[in-house]
Amino acid sequence: MSELRGPVRIVGTGLIGTSIGLALVRLGVVVELVDGNPDNALMAERIGAGSRVVDIEPQLVVVAVPPDHVGAVVAEQLQQTNAIVTDAASVKSKPLADARSLTDDVSRYVGSHPMAGSERNGPLAARADLFDGATWAITPHATSAPEAVDLVRRLAEACGARTVELSVEDHDLGVARVSHLPHLMSALAAGTLADAPSSHLELSGQGVRDVTRIAAGDPRLWTQIVSANSTALTGLLEQIRGELDRLLVALGKEEAGDELTAILGQGVSGAVRVPGKHGTPHIDLVTVLVTIPDRPGQLARLFADAAESGANVEDLRIDHSPGRPAGEVELAVKPASVDQLVDVLTERGWVVHR
């Protein structure tokens, strides 16, 4: 099996590229940082993600540039080095096609995609642990050399991720379902708020925050992403359009209960298939609501008291109450832990609702 010795050249020192550099440096791998924006490369170097000057030929090149430029940079690195080349783009078909149009031999190229990120961009948003426990897709094509596939897998594992191998086409359909389509749906929902009356926005709760959170992503970057994956997205959007028509017809009926229930039930069926934390199967959880004063130290006190109960908090979210200095913390726990959690929190003075 191929050993990841380094150096690793990272082309593009944004969030993903810099985070890969930080993850590798913590393991002692030599990392070279390259970026068309010298300020980004300098900042990535200053926070410890690698060095801008490495005189040794790279073993591996990671291309982490904006989606429109990935294929050209992949071809350039294949031509200028003898290294294995991968990329971190969220779409795989277009970079492969672009690279093939610019160079004859792409056997040393294997696409990959770390499924991790943030609404924040740039090297200062990077973290060495960004990929810990995340899924990292590896997408070899028909002529990818086995040793190239193996080295890219070693890269992902070195960064703390678990790997899944997919064809280029299957990857693009998969990310269209679980990432690109949700982003578009979020953008459409958020767009209806742009000219909404202030009185409507004052009614906002956690539901609208959940649905619209990812709509805050960089529109220019997301234009590149969804354009590059237009084929997979078009099919899914046509399916959504059919469901919207079905919903509109149902809403126009005087007796629409059964049809609406069926549509909403289909949503539940899909939601429960989303894997739980760490990629485990979905499990049913019970939500415990705790009223929390909006003062420093209250969250820490709540978490300490929850820990004393012995219940493991599987998930949580905070809903800030408009008009008063308090909020609701939703603690999601397994059903067997609910009673002990409620009893301990109540004994310690928390206002708890089940």
- Chain segment 93-124, per-residue pLDDT in tens: 999 999 999 999 999 999 999 998 766 678 99
Q: Position of tokens 């099996």? A: 1
**Of the given ranges (67-71, 166-170, 349-353), which has the lowest mean pLDDT?**
349-353
Which pTM does this prediction carry? 0.76
Domain with CATH 3.30.70.260 in the chain: 286-353
The predicted structure's pLDDT at residue 77: 97
CATH 1.20.140.10 fits 173-272, yes or no: no
Is residue 51 within 8 A of residue 57, CB to CB? The reply is: no
- Among 3.40.630.30, 3.40.50.720, 3.40.140.10, 3.40.1440.10, what is the CATH number of 8-166? 3.40.50.720
**What is the dotted CATH code of the domain comprising 286-353?**
3.30.70.260
Residue 10, pLDDT score: 98
Mean pLDDT of 15-25: 96
- Does the pLDDT value for residue 349 go beyond 90? no
- Average pLDDT of every residue of the chain: 89
φ/ψ of residue 230, rounded to 5: -65, -35
157-171, 175-189, 303-317: least confidently modelled range:
303-317
Amino acid at 325: P
Q: How confident is the model over 306-346, as pLDDT tens digits? A: 888 888 888 777 776 555 677 788 888 888 888 888 888 88
Reported as a single tens digit per residue, the pLDDT across 225-263 is: 899 899 999 999 999 999 999 999 888 887 778 888 888
Residue 329 makes CB contacts below 8 A (sequence gap 6+) with 289, 290, 292, 299, 302, 316, 317, 318
Across the range 339-354, mean pLDDT stands at: 85
Query: Which residues of the chain does CATH 3.40.50.720 include?
Result: 8-166
Helix (H, G, I), strand (E, B) or coil at 150: helix
- CB-side exposure of 247: number of CA atoms within 13 Å? 11
For the chain, residues classed under CATH 1.10.3660.10 are 173-272
